[in-house]
Structure 1
Amino acid sequence: MSKRFIATVAFSSLFLVACGQTATESIHSSLEEAAEIENEGFDEQQQPMMDAEEHEAELYSQIVDLDMDAYDEIVRLADEAIASVGERRELLANEQESIEEGYNVFENAVADFSELEDENLLNLANDVQEAMDNRYASYQDLHTIYEESLNLDEQLYEMLKDEELDAETLTAHIEETNQKYEERREATEQFNEHTTAYNDAKRAFYEASDLEVRFE
């Protein structure tokens, strides 16, 4: 069983003073609204998901320590783990919803990029868009892999309730599950790398703009 790999979110900044281009102010507003949506939605799912995974790992350990004489207890523990998987599915749906909502707000900033008159600032804005698009795509990959991992976890707990389950079948499924965990770890790292790149691009844009911002 594996613990949740924590994914990072986009940083937010405080807008202190703005002067000059209205487009720059509007872009800042949209970017920060997108970051706030993620911070309030995506980030708050992380700890409950990790807690649920740790709980399932404990249940799994209890199950494998039992023999078939305690079949009713095995079923009870497996059903509890399956319910936990369902809770993680809900958390994952909430996570994705905040990512999608944040990205939609981000596109409002993109719509204002064409209003930028400074060529260097426009290039930096395009860097922000490219970094966000890469990050968004990497999240879609992560989300798909996590869903597949959930399915394998649920199948494992269902298998553990089978009184006729043989060791070879169980071992093969555990190997497949562990492989999916490794894919999820790699996907999380990719998402975190793209998040860092996006944060760096956004910071560079802010520092080159006429906005006075304080980073949190």
Structure 2
Amino acid sequence: MKKWLAVTLLSVFVLTGCTFGDSAEQQISGVLQSMHDAEEPYRSVQSEMNKAEQQEVQLFEEILALTQEQQSELQQKVTELQELTANRKDYLANERESLEEALAKSDFSALDLSEVERALADRVDKAYDARYESYEDVYTKYEELIRLQDALYVEMLVEDVSIETVRELIQQVNAQNEVVQAAVATMNEKTEQFNSITSDVFETLQSEE
């Protein structure tokens, strides 16, 4: 079974090295910093998620090397797999909670901005909304991936399970992995677009000083 997810750490905000002398810049950057802070749990959990994934891949490869007579070892390793899957469910929930909080803080409506500045802030807001929507797609598809993995692990404990059944479940997991990878790639694209738009907005604000 292939590794199912390679999470890319996302650089969400381009704020360093800028001097915010303008009121609009200060206000917009303040909202962005609040969003960035809210995303800290999301960023911090990535290494734990990757670690759990790598451990599961190794355990699964060890299981495939077992013989039919090694039932006790199979039981032990599958139990470890299920524990790691449960951990990933918790990590996924923490990710989503973090991004939901960041989305709640992405409110530029109360800022004291001119019409032109408001239009620039709206560009940033819409770009972040698009990024969040892409994360929701990742979340839904990754959640389904975990469900399929759980089903596979349960089936592997059935004493007379057929090789064909296990092989079919592995194929389903691998197919869902491809779906997840595509969703992650889309989220990365939306993040790059958000970074680019944010940078352009601040350059525009600075040029109008």
Structure 2 length as normaliser, TM-score? Answer: 0.90
Q: Is there any run of 5+ residues in structure 1 with no aligned partner, and where?
A: 212-216
User: Superposition pairs for residues 30-179 of structure 1, below 5 Å?
Assistant: 30-38=31-39, 40-107=40-107, 110-112=108-110, 115-117=112-114, 119=116, 121-179=117-175
Task: Tell me the equivalent position of 1:11.
Answer: 13
Bigger relative CO (Cα 8 Å, ≥ 6 apart): 1
Q: Distance in 1 between matches of 2:46 and 2:98?
A: 12
Deviation, 1:32, is 1.4
Which amino acid letter does the alignment assign opposite residue 127 of structure 1?
Answer: R
Cα distance in 2 for residues equivalent to 1:65 and 1:90? 29
SS in 2 for 1:165: coil
Among the aligned pairs, what percent are the same residue? 27
Contiguous gaps of at least 5 residues in structure 2 = none
Q: Is the 8 A contact 2:134 2:190 kept in 1?
A: yes
TM-score normalised by L of structure 1:
0.88
1:24-52 C-alpha deviation (Å, 9 max, x unpaired): 422210111211321x2111111111111
CA distance in 1, matches of 2:161, 2:177: 23
Counterpart residue identity of residue 13, structure 1: L
Q: How many residues align?
A: 205
* CA-CA distance at 1:126 after TM superposition: 2.3
Amino acid at match of 1:37: A
Instruction: Tell me the equivalent position of 2:180.
Output: 184
RMSD value, Cα: 1.9
Aligned in 2, Cα 1:67/1:20: closer, same or farther, shift over 3 Å? closer
Q: Which has the higher strand share?
A: 1
